[in-house]
Structure 1
Amino acid sequence: MAAQTSMALKLKQYSDLIIAALIIGVVLLIIIPLPPSLLDFFLILSMTLGMVIMLITMFTTEPLQFSIFPSLLLVTTLFRLSLNISSTRLILGDGAAGKVIEAFGQFVVGGNYIVGAVVFIIITVIQFVVITNGSGRVAEVGARFTLDAMPGKQMSIDADLNSGLITEDEARAKRERLQKEADFFGAMDGASKFVRGDAIAGIVILLINILGGFVIGVVQMDMLITEALMKFTILTIGDGLVSQIPALLISTAAGILVTRASSDGSFGSDLSKQFLNFPKVLLLAGVILGVIGLIPAMPNLLILSMAGVLLYSSRTLMQERKKKEIADQQAEVAQSQKQQKREPENVFSYFQVDPLEIEIGYNLISLTDESQGGDLLQRLAAVRRQCASEMGILVRPIRIRDNMQLSYNAYVIKIRGVEVANGDLMPGHHLAMDPMGQDLKFNGIPTTEPTFNLPAWWVTGQDREFVELNGFTVVDCSTVLVTHLTEIIRQYAHELLGRQEVKELVDVVKEKQPAVVEELVPDMLSLGEIQKVLQNLLKERVPIRDLVTILEALADGARINKDPDYLTDNVRQSLSRSICQRYTGEQGKLSVVTLHPKLEQNIQEAIQQTQFGAYPVLEPQLVRKLLQKLNTVIEDVTMRGANPVLLCSPRVRLPFRRLIERHLPNLGVLSLNEIPANLEVEAIGTVSID
């Protein structure tokens, strides 16, 4: 027993070499003459292989369980053709081809070689016209549908990965399985041509053997015409049957394999389960046969017997179904009695809302398909890294889903299920923007750049090269969408920062600098209070990447006052260098616009404390006039090439920012305490309403 196990392990270890040697041996069969006894063995082996292959396909539950079938089909076809050549050599050379071929010829012909030839031709036609053509067409359609469905399936896998339903390894395994499925159906489409060629070769070999054998028998072996025709016809038909029966089995196996959908059971279990699932059909068929069996000219006994079998089967199946229904009802009643208190319906899944998601139209699916050159998924991963490095926020995986209700080229960006931005893209085109305002004529489709609402054009081919040479900025569709998404994240970063994200960021700091966190949380401030301060910073686009400095400033300020506005200003003073660096020009100067002292005094006196923080309560006309004047000053300064910020006193800064943030969201508002001592400040404008 141990010796047999050792031998099996050695054979398994060198299986690749053994298989390669066997395939080379199959090719050598074409050249090397075989004795009749060895040919008999190989013919029986061919029939056995055909039978085993067909049975394997009947017990598979999905095509990929037998993914080697296309290559195996080629090898078995080559094996049968090699045996055909060897048997032809024996038939024409010796007038005999072993016991297997002779036995098949005698059994089928039955003393009438014309009947045998007709039977062989019918078998060949069935294989060639019916099974081979049908399975080839099914394989072709399956390959086409599989390839067409790949983008949608890949997008579904990526969406599950982005939403966290599956891991990276599971996503990679699903992608590999999807690729293998496409490769399998594509290979089956080509492999079906082997079976068709095999059937054609069988017919040609049949004609050659009969005609060649007839000539050799009459001319070389001095046989009578009828004797030669009888002998070589029997041998040729036997040879053809021995070859075509395995071919018929394998082509049937190919048809079964490509026509089967994935299921939980084998072909036999599925057939019996589904075929006997309609007892009323059997009842109707039995009644029809019973009526036909009453016709005098019909074989009454046979037809009535078949009708009786159908009626009995229908009655038995109906009784079993009724018993099953009664048993199910009893089990349901018992379950309801056992469960006295009905548990509430699980509706928690409906409360899960994605923090950030993108819905795309049908034409934009190609942007997510790597096989079509789409790189949107990699770009989204880069966006998350960019947000972490620039703003210091943790952006959850961004879900992408297709929405057939959108127009084909549209996309929608949602935050917590609510649309915040949208746009249109044109796959296959590039977006061209003119930063210099040239009056250039070219073949482009006018549009509006979705992020900053700038005039732009969709261009392709030579127009793209032309506008690039003329100084236009040209970007692809993925870049347009990613740029829009990045700007949306910057704008709504404070909404994406929840308590869970704050906890994870604080835990990262705690790993390397535990003293900072242990002093602050939870004794001095809760996660919710820290979250409010961080949200205030992000609302004014202040990066929170230096979380250690932020937490230390919070620990220092919380000893005096825990008001979020006070803590926010205290943190901003600690981050003064990084805040001012965003607004400093190339010459290292900070260009500022100031408020007139009288105006600033009026604003300070109007500040009132509300539940949402300090806010200046001014007359509507005064606010309107103030905003108009401020907007005029900012536009004038911007036209001179400066990037201004508004400078005011610490007490006025945050309330005034809240006053203007709806109308001038991108204007930076700094206090005097946030200006580093070594930074040069240049006052280039003053806002006054007098």
Structure 2
Amino acid sequence: MAAEARPTILGRIGDMTLPVGILAVMAMMVLPLPVTLLDAFFVGNIVLALMVLMVALHSYRPLDFSSFPSVLLIATILRLALNVASTRIVLTDGHTGSGAAGRVIQAFGEFVIAGNFLVGLLVFAILVIINLVVITKGAGRVSEVSARFTLDAMPGKQMAIDADLNAGLLTPEEAKRRRTDVAAEADFYGAMDGASKFVKGDAIAGILILAINVIGGILIGTIQHSLSAGEAAQTYILLSIGDGLVAQIPSLLLSIATAVIVTRVSSSHDMGKLIGKQMNLRRAWVPVAGVMALLGIVPGMPNLLFIIAAAGAGAMAYFNRDLAEGEDGEVLPPEQGDAAGGEDEDSEGIVPEDVADNAPISLQIGYGLIQMAGGENGALVSRITGIRKEMSKAMGFVVPGVRIRDDLSLPPNQYRIRIGHRIVGEDVVYPDRKLALPGGSSTRKLRGIEVKDPSFGMDAIWILPQQVTEAEADDYVVVEPESVIATHMSQAISSHAADLIGPDDVQALLDNLANSAPTLVESVVPKLVPLHTLTAVLRHLLSGRIPISDLRRILEGLAELSGRNLAAQDMAEAMRPQLTPLLLQQLGPINSPLPLITLDPELEQILIRARQSGDIDGGLVIDNGLAQTIITSLAEAQDKAAGEGKTSVVVVANVLRRAFSAFIRPHMPDAIVIGINELPEMRKVEVVAVIGGQSTLPRPKQ
């Protein structure tokens, strides 16, 4: 128990340190301090200023010291409180001698003044000018400009992160971290813009406090304590300058730290290493040595000093001769230098990502399409982002990010869609043209490049932008080139959704469901249904276009089926009647009739017998002529329904559904096949086509 309580007690003490310290600082402004305690606080103030400066110098980037504005505020308040406390002591006990305000103030005053009041005042004035006019003013201007530029660039940085996330260059965790860094950077520079005003006000306050101490001290010494003007000036000016220097030196250190932080550029080195790395250039030291040598032989100059400086610059040039240089003498970055000096020139520029691309979905584009993905508008990335969101909602799981990469091996206008390492689609688009799809009443043939639409296989024409008005007037549907790729991508994702979900994705869905139904998740997975079995069931459902968004119902159904010792595919088939309504409601309004394509009863019986006589479980072994007739008839019926704006569904007998779906999927991947028992009881239906005939159907193979 004691071991567990100790961190908690220490944590509470740490949490109480700052509030108690702030209260103590406020008390210093009101209550008189002993001289010994005042000396200790002055030394502590100098230590704090030095510590802040060292941390600023050793930070790799400004956000590494994101608490600097708050530290600066606290240090400024502490210093002003010490000024108030020391002023009270100086004006109250200054007449007793130079040691009245403590040994620290006395030592600083006697060391700087050295018996001359005017020298002390001038040295203090110079320190204030350096702090206020040079360092503080410059740092304040840099803070103001940095804050303005950072806030202006924030939307662009957020869009760039979204683009990299959609292109698959970032994981969601990396994107979240980068968004947090962008927001923190904006907050930091905004706070620094205000914090720099603290430094400026502190420098001005130092001047005013010195003037008050000198004038007030002389008046108090001469009027209240009957000192002569000379004695009062000697005592109170020494104490005032010592007090001012004790406060001004930490103020100067914090001003330097502020300037270091706001002028810092993010890198993998601290400031000392960064400056040393960038200034150790042989090409820079050689001319410096030459100029110093020339000055060293000019008569009347301190020749020895210039010769020594020339020798030092020459030594720097000699010791820096080993830096990586190109053949023409140009200094290369370390990465290029390493590559140039490699043992195997054939492996230059090859990284593991070039050998094994593990992106779940990738889009490879020729160089002619790069402008669509990385141009100012980024239209392709935006369209793909919209497609991912729509498909994720429709299918019930988060579709992985799409990695967009250029591929110089492809023709300029070609693109290729891959699911994993498998190519699932490719075609050609023309970024300077638009794709025109003819409508039902189109009569005019447009000039352009005649093609097949990659998504639906319809006749289409790539036309020039100036032909758009003409095409739309003749009932053509004009599509942007990025929409062509995005629609093709949508079709590929829908057809291969089962390949995009794995155990990790399923576990993420379970973790999300556990927030609302923890008992259900805990009792089913993995006690009744192992995670790999659940993953296989979800994959089978997705292969049949069934959404898996209602994971609660899926788990409840699997719990009921767990005792029947079924295979994953059989479990999925048994779950379909409960889940198919989720698919059907996406095809159209539930109040409108559902378009159905049915099979002629005789054809259906033939197919059922073909399935039963097949030597492959669940497969159809039928005559090629019959197969061609079925495929052609189905395609015509679906095209007719699509022309009327309807998405039709093929309905077959329950025992035939799985085999018939596998039969037509290679020819019609978008066709939806359901069993008669999967039709919702309360849903209106409309039979738009019946496939088959009574006299022309070939018989199945025996």
Same fold (TM over 0.5): yes
1:657 CA displacement: 7.4
1:511 CA displacement: 8.9
2:354 paired with 1:349? yes
2:123 paired with 1:119? yes
* Pair 1:116–1:493, CA change in 2 (3 A): same
Whole-Å separation in 1 of the counterparts to 2:127 and 2:190: 28
How do residues 590-605 of structure 1 correspond to structure 2 at under 5 angstroms? none
> Residue 354 of structure 1 contacts residue 415 of structure 1 at CA under 8 Å; is this kept in 2?
no
> Residue 213 of structure 1 contacts residue 232 of structure 1 at CA under 8 Å; is this kept in 2?
yes
How do residues 450-599 of structure 1 correspond to structure 2 at under 5 angstroms? 489=490, 493-498=494-499, 538=544, 582=584
* Pair 1:102–1:350, CA change in 2 (3 A): same
1:40 CA displacement: 2.8
1:86 CA displacement: 2.1
Equivalent residue number for residue 223 of structure 2? 219
Equivalent residue number for residue 90 of structure 1? 89
Equivalent residue number for residue 612 of structure 2? none
1:300 corresponds to which of 300, 303, 311: 303
Whole-Å separation in 1 of the counterparts to 2:324 and 2:148: 41
2:128 paired with 1:156? no
1:291 CA displacement: 1.5
1:79 CA displacement: 1.4
* Pair 1:398–1:206, CA change in 2 (3 A): same
* Pair 1:313–1:590, CA change in 2 (3 A): closer
Whole-Å separation in 1 of the counterparts to 2:187 and 2:171: 24
Whole-Å separation in 2 of the counterparts to 1:65 and 1:333: 34
Equivalent residue number for residue 81 of structure 1? 80
* Pair 1:672–1:309, CA change in 2 (3 A): closer
> Residue 627 of structure 1 contacts residue 660 of structure 1 at CA under 8 Å; is this kept in 2?
no
* Pair 1:144–1:413, CA change in 2 (3 A): farther
Equivalent residue number for residue 205 of structure 1? 209
Whole-Å separation in 1 of the counterparts to 2:117 and 2:306: 34
1:627 CA displacement: 11
Q: Which moved more, 1:127-136 or 1:672-681?
A: 672-681
* Pair 1:40–1:295, CA change in 2 (3 A): same
> Residue 285 of structure 1 contacts residue 307 of structure 1 at CA under 8 Å; is this kept in 2?
yes
> Residue 106 of structure 2 contacts residue 242 of structure 2 at CA under 8 Å; is this kept in 1?
yes
> Residue 139 of structure 1 contacts residue 258 of structure 1 at CA under 8 Å; is this kept in 2?
yes
Whole-Å separation in 2 of the counterparts to 1:319 and 1:660: 66
Q: Which moved more, 1:11-20 or 1:353-362?
A: 353-362
Equivalent residue number for residue 262 of structure 2? 258
* Pair 1:348–1:42, CA change in 2 (3 A): closer
Whole-Å separation in 2 of the counterparts to 1:151 and 1:159: 12
Consecutive unaligned residues in structure 2, runs of 5 or more: 326-330, 332-337, 364-372, 407-414, 432-454, 457-481, 507-523, 549-553, 605-619, 694-702
1:19 CA displacement: 3.5
Q: Which moved more, 1:94-103 or 1:238-247?
A: 94-103
Equivalent residue number for residue 40 of structure 1? 39
1:244 CA displacement: 0.4
How do residues 135-534 of structure 1 correspond to structure 2 at under 5 angstroms? 135-147=139-151, 148-149=153-154, 152=157, 156=161, 163=168, 166=171, 168=173, 176-275=180-279, 277-318=280-321, 349=354, 352=357, 354-356=359-361, 383-384=391-392, 386-388=394-396, 396-399=399-402, 489=490, 493-498=494-499
Whole-Å separation in 1 of the counterparts to 2:6 and 2:680: 82
> Residue 362 of structure 1 contacts residue 402 of structure 1 at CA under 8 Å; is this kept in 2?
no
Whole-Å separation in 1 of the counterparts to 2:297 and 2:102: 52
1:257 CA displacement: 2.7
Equivalent residue number for residue 138 of structure 2? 134
* Pair 1:363–1:413, CA change in 2 (3 A): farther
> Match of 2:93, as an amino acid?
D
Aligned residue pairs, count = 550
Which whole-Å deviations, capped at 9, do the CAs of 1:655-680 have from their partners, x for residues lacking one? 99799969xx78x7899999999999
Which whole-Å deviations, capped at 9, do the CAs of 1:435-477 have from their partners, x for residues lacking one? xxxxxxxxxxxxxxxx99xxxxxxxxxxxxxxxxxxxxxxxxx
Whole-Å separation in 1 of the counterparts to 2:529 and 2:28: 76
Please give the secondary structure, in 2, of the residue aligned with 1:14.
Answer: helix
> Residue 161 of structure 1 contacts residue 167 of structure 1 at CA under 8 Å; is this kept in 2?
no
Equivalent residue number for residue 470 of structure 2? none
Which whole-Å deviations, capped at 9, do the CAs of 1:208-235 have from their partners, x for residues lacking one? 2233233334434444445544443333
Whole-Å separation in 1 of the counterparts to 2:213 and 2:205: 12
> Match of 2:271, as an amino acid?
F
Q: Percent identity?
A: 31
1:69 CA displacement: 2.4
> Match of 1:310, as an amino acid?
A
Whole-Å separation in 2 of the counterparts to 1:354 and 1:44: 58
> Match of 1:253, as an amino acid?
A
1:194 CA displacement: 1.0
Consecutive unaligned residues in structure 1, runs of 5 or more: 1-5, 326-330, 369-375, 389-393, 404-411, 425-450, 453-480, 518-526, 557-570, 601-611
Which whole-Å deviations, capped at 9, do the CAs of 1:247-297 have from their partners, x for residues lacking one? 10111122223333344444334444443x223422321221221232323
Which whole-Å deviations, capped at 9, do the CAs of 1:530-568 have from their partners, x for residues lacking one? 999999x75xx577999999x989999xxxxxxxxxxxx
Q: CA RMSD in A?
A: 6.6
> Residue 108 of structure 2 contacts residue 245 of structure 2 at CA under 8 Å; is this kept in 1?
yes
> Residue 57 of structure 1 contacts residue 256 of structure 1 at CA under 8 Å; is this kept in 2?
yes
> Residue 501 of structure 2 contacts residue 539 of structure 2 at CA under 8 Å; is this kept in 1?
no
Whole-Å separation in 2 of the counterparts to 1:231 and 1:144: 49
TM-score (norm 2): 0.58
Equivalent residue number for residue 29 of structure 1? 28
> Residue 74 of structure 1 contacts residue 191 of structure 1 at CA under 8 Å; is this kept in 2?
yes
> Residue 641 of structure 2 contacts residue 688 of structure 2 at CA under 8 Å; is this kept in 1?
no
* Pair 1:72–1:589, CA change in 2 (3 A): closer
> Residue 417 of structure 2 contacts residue 489 of structure 2 at CA under 8 Å; is this kept in 1?
no
Please give the secondary structure, in 1, of the residue aligned with 2:298.
Answer: coil
Q: Which moved more, 1:184-193 or 1:344-353?
A: 344-353
> Match of 1:303, as an amino acid?
F
1:25 CA displacement: 1.5
Please give the secondary structure, in 1, of the residue aligned with 2:312.
Answer: helix
Whole-Å separation in 2 of the counterparts to 1:345 and 1:380: 31
* Pair 1:134–1:655, CA change in 2 (3 A): closer
1:82 CA displacement: 1.4
1:617 CA displacement: 7.6
Whole-Å separation in 1 of the counterparts to 2:171 and 2:47: 44
